[in-house]
Amino acid sequence: MDKNKLPVKKDMAMDELDFAMLAFLQQDGRTSFTVIAEKLNVSVGTVRTRFNRLLEEGILSIIGRVDPAKVGFHCYAHIAVFVRPATLKETVAKKIARLPEVSFLAGTSGDYDLEVDVMCRDNDHLQTFINKVAAIEGVHQTKTAIYFKVYKYAPPDLDLLKAE
Amino acid sequence: MDKNKLPVKKDMAMDELDFAMLAFLQQDGRTSFTVIAEKLNVSVGTVRTRFNRLLEEGILSIIGRVDPAKVGFHCYAHIAVFVRPATLKETVAKKIARLPEVSFLAGTSGDYDLEVDVMCRDNDHLQTFINKVAAIEGVHQTKTAIYFKVYKYAPPDLDLLKAE
DNA sequence: AAACTTTTCTGCAAAAAATGTATTTTTAAT
DNA sequence: ATTAAAAATACATTTTTTGCAGAAAAGTTT
């Protein structure tokens, strides 16, 4: 397999072999080096070296994904947070990030300032959480929406990077 | 280790041992059965049996998580989709779900009908994507917001289920 | 409550996979 | 072309997983 550099960040270049490995691991994070090596026609050692580099660089991480609904999180919600004065945004973000219910937190370019996605046991738990957020200094308003039905939840499609 | 049933869905009961295993695997999906067994004071066989059950039930999956930004997705955005007439919601959802850029798609209780999160290479790619969505029959309006800074991206915190 | 059934856990041997290291091959630079 | 550096390979060793068979626990039935 040849290694044509792909148009990624210059400092950490990745070739086709890396991407091929990622493709396997995205599907099953426990795929053995042996199997990957066979499928890609390289030695086990090569796969191992590459794998470790990908981990070290933080490009890849192997995690056990737990289905939230199946273990008891029956309420997945989206909270739009309006911060005032705007200068408090970072401070507020840091405080919200600490709450364990928060699965995603980001600053956006939209109407509101911060987006908070939370996993709660139930509506009761959610309400308690919202109150906690509302009590934070700088939180001016919140708008909550519940995710009724999740149609898709997928990892990034690496093919989008190859074919342009 | 004793197995006090925890308040999860009745049909697939999980005990403390299962949760302890999940906790390990959430951190490192490649943790060997041997290590888990030692830490939890059970036999390797037990860990294996439980592990397989968790996989089969879809409670757990081991995946290689790829850092989108590091491989070339420099634009993570949020698109609010308004569907009209409302009856087309499911149809529209199915069509959007097929697009490879979509990492998350859900129906919400908020102002808009569908929330679409997308991973794109750059703003250009994003714009092309938005046009594709806008062209779908039933899509009345879209509002896009870019995630400027992601403060947190975390798996569900299982401790929230134990202590209530 | 004893006898029986089912499920879960354990222990051990065999197979498979990962690791450590020395060597070869490839790549890049002068 | 020559040489230096980086990456890939091969193979012996260690570790982990897998496949069962037997033991222990939990749950039923009478």
Domain termination residue (choose one: A25, A56, A87)? A56
Global confidence as pTM: 0.90
Domain count, chain A: 2
Does residue B72 sit in helix, strand or coil? coil
Can you give the CATH number for the domain in which B92 is found?
3.30.70.920
Residue B162 lies in a domain: no
User: Residues A75, A22: one domain?
Assistant: no
List the single residue in A with minimal CA-CA distance to B19: A71
* pLDDT averaged over 10-residue windows placed end to end, chain A, 164 residues: 40 86 98 98 98 97 97 97 97 98 97 98 97 98 97 97 74
User: Residues B21, B92: one domain?
Assistant: no
User: Residues A93, A122: one domain?
Assistant: yes
Residue A153 lies in a domain: no
Lowest mean pLDDT among A51-65, A149-163, B11-25, B117-131: B11-25
Please list every residue in chain B whose beta carbon sits closer than 8 Å to the beta carbon of residue A12. Answer: 70
Residue A10 lies in a domain: no
Place of tokens 């960040």: A9
A60 in reach of chain B (CB within 8 A): yes
User: Residues A51, A75: one domain?
Assistant: no
Could you give the CA distance from residue B32 to residue B52 in angstroms, rounded to a whole number? Answer: 13
Residue A40 lies in a domain: yes
Q: Give the model's pLDDT for residue A7.
A: 43
Can you give the CATH number for the domain in which A48 is found?
1.10.10
Contact in structure between B102 and A152 (CB atoms under 8 Å)? yes
Does residue B135 sit in helix, strand or coil? coil
Angle at B57 between CA B55 and CA B59, to 5 degrees: 70
User: Residues B34, B76: one domain?
Assistant: no
Domain termination residue (choose one: B56, B77, B104)? B56
Residue A51 lies in a domain: yes
Contact in structure between B144 and B132 (CB atoms under 8 Å)? no
Contact in structure between B44 and B33 (CB atoms under 8 Å)? yes
Examine the pLDDT at B11 and tell me if it is beyond 80.
no
User: Residues A72, A143: one domain?
Assistant: yes
User: Residues B73, B143: one domain?
Assistant: yes
Of A4, A35, A32, nearest to A18 (Cα)?
A4
Residue B163 lies in a domain: no
pLDDT digits (tens, 9 = 90+) for B60-90: 999 999 999 999 999 999 999 999 999 999 9
HSE at residue B11, side-chain half, CA atoms within 13 A, is 3
Q: Distance from CA of residue A132 to its chain's centroid?
A: 24
Residue B5 lies in a domain: no
Does residue B154 sit in helix, strand or coil? coil
- How close, in Å, is residue B26 to chain A by CA atoms? 4
- For strand D, which nucleotides have at least one atom less than 7 Å from a protein CB? 7-11, 15-21
Percentage of residues in chain B having pLDDT higher than 90: 90
Could you give the CA distance from residue A113 to residue B147 in angstroms, rounded to a whole number? Answer: 10
Domain of residue B22, residue span: 16-56
Lowest mean pLDDT among A5-9, B20-24, B48-52, B108-112: A5-9
Lowest mean pLDDT among A5-9, B110-114, B137-141: A5-9
Mean pLDDT of B143-162: 96
User: Residues B42, B112: one domain?
Assistant: no
Residue A9 lies in a domain: no
Place of tokens 């981990």: A55
Report the DSSP beta bridge partners of residue B54. Answer: none
Interface test with A, best of B160, B161, B162 (most A CBs within 10 A): B160
Asked if A65 lies within 8 A of B60 by C-beta distance, the reply is: yes
**What HEC string does chain A produce?**
CCCCCCCCCCCCCCCHHHHHHHHHHHHCCCCCHHHHHHHHCCCHHHHHHHHHHHHHCCCEEEEEEECHHHHCCCEEEEEEEEECCHHHHHHHHHHHHHCCCEEEEEEECCCCCEEEEEEECCHHHHHHHHHHHHCCCCEEEEEEEEEEEEEEECCCCCHHHHCC
User: Residues B49, B73: one domain?
Assistant: no
User: Residues A73, A136: one domain?
Assistant: yes
Could you give the CA distance from residue B61 to residue A108 in angstroms, rounded to a whole number? Answer: 30
In chain A, the N- to C-terminal Cα span, in Å, equals 21
pLDDT digits (tens, 9 = 90+) for B96-105: 999 999 999 9
User: Residues B50, B118: one domain?
Assistant: no
List the single residue in B with minimal CA-CA distance to A108: B147
User: Residues B75, B28: one domain?
Assistant: no
Contact in structure between A138 and A152 (CB atoms under 8 Å)? no
